[in-house]
Structure 1
Amino acid sequence: MRNTRLQSTLQSEIADWFKALETVHPEDMIGLWKGSGHPSGHPLDGVLENLHWFGKRFHPDMRADALLFEGDQGELVAIEPAFFPIRWALRFASLGRTARARNLFSHLRPRLRAKGTTASLERRIDEGVLTTAMVYDRQPIVDFFRRSDDMVVGKMVVSGDPRPYFFRLLRV
Structure 2
Amino acid sequence: MKLTSSAAAILELIRTGANESAEPLLALFDELDPVPATFMYGRWRGGLLTADRELGVLLTRMKWYGRHFTDAEHADPLLCRRSDGTLYSFAGLGLARLRELSFRGKVSAAMIYDDQPMIDVFRKISENVVLGVTDTKGRPTDFFFHLTRD
Is contact 2:133-2:141 (8 Å) kept?
A: no
Decide which structure has the larger Cα Rg and report it.
1
Is contact 2:51-2:57 (8 Å) kept?
A: no
Comparing both structures, which one devotes a greater share of its residues to strand?
2
Does residue 1:73 correspond to 2:78, yes or no?
A: no
Query: How far apart, CA to CA, are the structure 2 residues paired with 1:10 and 1:19?
Result: 15
What does residue 119 of structure 1 align with?
96
**How many Å apart are 1:12 and its aligned residue?**
1.2
Q: Tell me which amino acid in the other structure corresponds to 2:77.
A: A
What does residue 27 of structure 1 align with?
38
What does residue 140 of structure 1 align with?
117
Is contact 1:37-1:46 (8 Å) kept?
A: no
Of 42, 50, 75, 2:53 maps to: 42
Query: How far apart, CA to CA, are the structure 2 residues paired with 1:169 and 1:29?
Result: 10
TM-score by length of 1: 0.69
Aligned residues with identical type, % of pairs: 29
Does residue 1:129 correspond to 2:140, yes or no?
A: no
Comparing both structures, which one devotes a greater share of its residues to helix?
1
Is contact 1:131-1:145 (8 Å) kept?
A: yes
Of 118, 123, 143, 1:165 maps to: 143
CA, structure 1 residues 81+24, in 2 after alignment: closer, same or farther (shift >3 Å)? farther
TM-score by length of 2: 0.79
Is contact 2:72-2:99 (8 Å) kept?
A: no
Structure 1 residues without counterparts, runs of 5 or longer: 1-8, 83-113
Query: How far apart, CA to CA, are the structure 2 residues paired with 1:146 and 1:29?
Result: 10
Query: How far apart, CA to CA, are the structure 2 residues paired with 1:31 and 1:166?
Result: 20
4+ aligned runs moved over 6 Å, structure 1 = none
Give the SS at the match of 2:139.
Answer: coil
Is contact 1:26-1:62 (8 Å) kept?
A: no
Of 117, 125, 131, 1:153 maps to: 131
CA, structure 1 residues 81+123, in 2 after alignment: closer, same or farther (shift >3 Å)? farther
Query: How far apart, CA to CA, are the structure 2 residues paired with 1:19 and 1:41?
Result: 22
Is contact 1:42-1:163 (8 Å) kept?
A: no
**How many Å apart are 1:46 and its aligned residue?**
4.3
